[in-house]
A and B are shown apart, each in its own frame.
Chain A
């Protein structure tokens, strides 16, 4: 650390390097910390989590019990130990607008915390006003809504992509409050939809038809391309498996922070990394990523680290992989039942995960301890860390931006 500080001070290193190295160290030291608890509100499994990006302060959770909870992640206790308080709950007792069935996805409006959107298996998607906790808008669909997503970067449109039981992807416009467009191509239920964090109009969709399609929503005719796990090599695939992303239902999508790559998960227990510009399978081998979820799987990637990591629910644990190496770095064990979602806090390198055991667990980096302990932990940790974290040993700076 001192050498990093010195290099930053003397201008030998770009200041970003210290930040990347320390972020990486922190991700590698994530553990279930007794200093941090999250209020337990949900009476049933937790399907979805979302942390807003404006202040990085408020987190939404949606549960199988139809309840939505907002947590304050900020530590006002003046002590290192604290509990993230639930500051409001959209529950049955207080709100008649509450979702009737399981809430599948919640997402903050990316540009303002005054609004968030939830979708549920009660065939509705609701746009909530955070102040009043009343729906400002409600969209009805014909089937269960599995997923929805708003573009984190788009300023010119306010489209919500919605995936339902229907193979058609729906685009709802928040400005007009109407469904304005459908994207046709899939032949199965849509389990996950994600906008690119790089381009306003690029959308990825995943379906039970074991395919992943990339769309430019400005184009009327079909998708841009379909991800092919064999990169067009027909000899490896049976005829019906051409242009498939997985050999099972594709239930999870996640772009990397720079939008250059896309991760997909499928019930074939595989995770794949794709070049999002060309659709090429990068063939990074993550090994077996157990995936029993019949609905959408919410997984996430780190931001600001070097190298970057993937956090993916895997049974009752969260598996941490090197994004580009495919190496399994650690399993975060703590839940008593299957984990369904996890969300990364990029400001403080913390991970929140929600599972069927009704708990939200906070995974917090271990602090460097003062005094003598420091040497011991460092020497213990140092070996494994240096092996995984090249930012700690190498002289070159990473330039992935």
Chain B
């Protein structure tokens, strides 16, 4: 039996619907964005959009309208969602509002009224006595517009005030116009028509013929301006010109359409305020655009203010390891039409580059905090920093190289060069005190904090204390071998002073801990191998102390450290790069992190008491130092051989997407092609065909398999081929190289309309189908009869709620980082129409049952938004044994936060719902959570879970 765990790596990014209005409170202007199963709520502020809340629903959002009773100060998100949800589940078409009346209309309902016709669009009209719907329908004669009054008592439709037969053949949208005009605007392919029963006004502006208008939004409450968006991403403004009659009545005089400019291909539009429009897109990135009064050089009135990345629709993708370091990158074919792009997704930490300067010959970076006025502009700050750096290096070429400069007090700093340790006042740069090795030997390595300096001259270690205006040598000792690296970072509560010194030695390749000031050995750890330690660092993550020791080949050892006894424990090793690594600490978002500088820069941090190693989107960093100045708050200065870069680190674990554009053209109905044992395997309509290369470099058919309706998808493993059929689920074929033929091994006889397939292992096959479900089929090799062997058994079913276009083996995380404790095997990524990326991974049975139990209990504890039962969500009515876990709940559990988890799950008063988890189990959850989290933000990915 196969047990699988399905997890979201990247939530859907395609926008289905958006509305603006007062939602979180009467004063707040909110933007609500629906992304398939998720609803995001923003507040519109002067600075831009501020996210308020994001909620997940057990359902797909089809239509969304803001519904606000007149006396409602505050609407709970739950209330709104409930309405959406019910509309999603029961109706297809209309959810509209008239005054304080919310009416939900379904196409089927209207279809009953107008037999043999299709309802195209339906809206409620303004300014009618009884609620009145206006709809476009199609019958064999063409398209017509009709109105119906809704009788609330009989719950029936009655004949409405007006109708218009034979409107434009492609009329697709009804826009109700508020008072004083009333009536409705009908949008067609070529024309825009206004109707209100008495008046009829049509225009056919040539500009709109080019494409199809797909969305609209009213700008003014009085309905005099509308935004229209078409399939080419063009934005129009529709203006209703009014005319005042003699009797004071206001009537429509004319309609005008003006092209404003180009945006992403809009799925929905909503006018926020002050000329700012949110363009929600399903086919490309969503945008926040500003409508200007004057056009720019290109004649466009539209200026893009902000872009929201959308990966959907992910039509295809593959995992590649470009740098061959076990670090997967995902390349997706995203977007459609003009928004089509190839996007590269990798996990890791992003550095936003703020400034960089070419500065050849950088040997190190030191932090220099000037006491002079900080209120200088950023440009100035930069130049000062650069100048300082430049100066310090130019001075070295002449004199000596400083290893380290530390601000000790407000006005004194320690400068360590290869010949001496100097205490310098910062303002006057006057030398206060200087220490030199008695024989004048060069200092090879040194480390200092605000009160102490430890330095090594060959095998001899010296310990100095920094006193007011004086450097005092306290002790010295001679080690067995030459010292390679040193650290005296103060840990724990011993503010500013360390009682331990960490030392890495040449020759015996050991890391040692010595007690200060006497240098008595506390612990000795042999690292093994022949590569010397190049950097050693003591640090504290989440209250736990660690010793990190990086070797010359990019390997990193890390240990738990007891700062009282100096004893090391829990030795672990990871490979970070291939070059000597330098470790530096920095703080980001008030947590401490370690930056490992090497050819593959890495940020080390801790999450749930596990060390996480996350890559940085930079090529090579030799030195790094944290920088916190007015111009560059919370920044890092990063240097490689030729450039100094200043940047900020973004929130740990984020998606990084680079975009390029590519085109490909294919002729004929070849649905799928794969390389297969050096040959080409292709599916052509119902045939699976194997081509071999002839000596003349031509493709020759070797064998065929015909027993399909339409073979759309192919996957191979060894000599096995998995075929995904249009409507006949999956089929397993074996290639017989000797006979040069295919043999049918087994088939899933369920009528699944496939959208993607993948081979999990020799016996298990993963499929995604038309109704947004995933399933796992299993080959029963042990079956006794031929017939049973021919059947692939469906062993796992999972309702994903997303249309999966592609599966791909691989992971976005480092595969070889240390020993993983997660009890999962294998990893298949999937990409969906809405830009979601997810992961399917196998679990053992015991973990499965544990998690299933947890899920079931969580079901009872976690309230669903909109009160849709989780159990109602999966449309697969048959949940058989060995099914995949639903991650949504696990995710909810994790978002509860540790406090919530405690109270909700482990609190005794909730005993019936309690899950008793052993520490081991919690450990697993945390591991999974990390995996989850990673994926959740896709970049993140797998923080090698240690």
Which residues of A line the B interface, CB within 8 A?
A: 1-2, 5, 8-12, 15-16, 18-19, 22, 55-57, 74-76, 78-80, 258, 260, 275, 277, 282, 284, 324-325, 347-348, 367-371, 374, 395-396, 398-401
Contact = CB atoms under 8 A, between A and B. Distances in A.
B14 interface: yes
B685 A374 contact: yes
Nearest to B139: A324
Interface stretch (B25-33, B96-104, B108-116, B757-765): B108-116
B706 interface: yes
B790 A10 contact: no
21 contacts: A1-B669, A8-B755, A9-B313, A10-B313, A11-B14, A11-B283, A11-B336, A11-B833, A12-B283, A22-B727, A74-B749, A79-B707, A80-B707, A284-B116, A348-B727, A369-B685, A374-B669, A396-B120, A399-B107, A400-B107, A401-B107
Contact of A401 (B108, B116, B687, B805): B108
Nearest to A82: B707
B336 A12 contact: yes
B833 A10 contact: yes
Interface string B738-774: 0000011000011101010000000000000011100
Given A8-B755, A367-B685, A368-B686, A19 B770 contact: yes
Nearest to A326: B116
B707 A2 contact: no
Contacts of A80: 706-707
A399 B92 contact: yes
B687 A370 contact: yes
Which of A12, A16, A282 has the largest count of B CB atoms less than 10 A from its CB? A12
Interface string B649-686: 00000000000000000000101000000000000111
A15 B755 CA distance: 9
Interface string B309-331: 00011010000000000000000
Interface residues of B, number: 55
Given A371-B684, A400-B107, 17 more contacts: A1-B669, A5-B671, A9-B833, A10-B283, A11-B14, A11-B283, A15-B770, A18-B770, A19-B770, A56-B751, A75-B707, A260-B108, A277-B112, A369-B685, A370-B686, A399-B119, A401-B92
Contacts of A9: 313, 315, 805, 833
B312 A16 contact: no
A282 B833 contact: no
A259 B708 CA distance: 33
Nearest to A347: B751
A260 B112 contact: yes
Contacts of A400: 107-108, 111, 118
B93 interface: yes
B669 A11 contact: no
Contacts of B723: none
Interface in B81-129: 92-93, 107-108, 111-112, 115-116, 118-120
Contact of B312 (A11, A22, A75, A374): A11
Most buried by A among B14, B120, B726, B834: B726
Across the A-B interface, give the 4 residue pairs with the lowest CB-CB distance, nearest first. A347-B751, A11-B833, A399-B107, A78-B744
Contacts of A348: 709, 727-728, 751
Contacts of B93: 399
A325 B684 contact: no
B707 A15 contact: no
Contacts of B170: 395
Contact of B753 (A19, A275, A324): A19
B538 interface: no
B840 interface: no
Contacts of A56: 751
Contacts, number: 116
B793 interface: no
B453 interface: no
Nearest to A368: B685
B848 interface: no
A398 B118 contact: yes
A275 B112 contact: yes
B783 to A, nearest CB: 13
A80 B138 CA distance: 41
Interface in B788-834: 790, 803, 805, 833-834
B710 interface: yes
A79 B686 CA distance: 13
A399 B118 contact: yes
A2 B140 CA distance: 27
A208 B116 CA distance: 30
A396 B138 contact: yes
B238 interface: no
B787 interface: yes
B94 to A, nearest CB: 11
Contacts of A325: 116, 140
A227 to B, nearest CB: 15
Given A80-B707, A367-B686, A399-B93, A10 B315 contact: yes
B787 A76 contact: yes
B116 A282 contact: yes
Contact of A275 (B115, B138, B313): B115
A4 to B, nearest CB: 10
Nearest to B108: A401
A306 to B, nearest CB: 9
Given A369-B685, A374-B669, A22 B771 contact: no
A57 B747 CA distance: 14
Contacts of B755: 8, 15
A21 to B, nearest CB: 11
Best-buried of A22, A55, A75, A370 by chain B (most CB within 10 Å): A370
Contacts of B706: 79-80
A362 B698 CA distance: 41
Nearest to B120: A396
A15 B805 contact: no
B104 to A, nearest CB: 15
B942 interface: no
B944 interface: no
Contacts of B600: none
Contacts of A399: 92-93, 107-108, 111, 118-119
B238 to A, nearest CB: 22
Contact of A324 (B115, B119, B685, B689): B115
Contacts of B803: 8, 11, 15
A257 B10 CA distance: 39
Nearest to B742: A78
Contacts of A369: 685-686
Contact of B115 (A18, A282, A374): A282
A13 B786 CA distance: 41
A277 B109 CA distance: 12
Interface string B446-459: 00000000000000
Contacts of B14: 11
A79 B786 CA distance: 15
Contacts of A5: 671, 712
Given A367-B686, A368-B686, A76 B282 contact: no
Contacts of A10: 283, 313, 315, 336, 833
A74 B750 CA distance: 10
A27 to B, nearest CB: 13
Contacts of A8: 755, 803
Contacts of B283: 10-12
Nearest to A75: B707
Nearest to B112: A260
A196 to B, nearest CB: 15
A78 B707 contact: yes
Contacts of B805: 9
B333 to A, nearest CB: 10
Nearest to A23: B727
Nearest to B711: A370
Contacts of B707: 75, 78-80
B336 to A, nearest CB: 4
B604 to A, nearest CB: 39
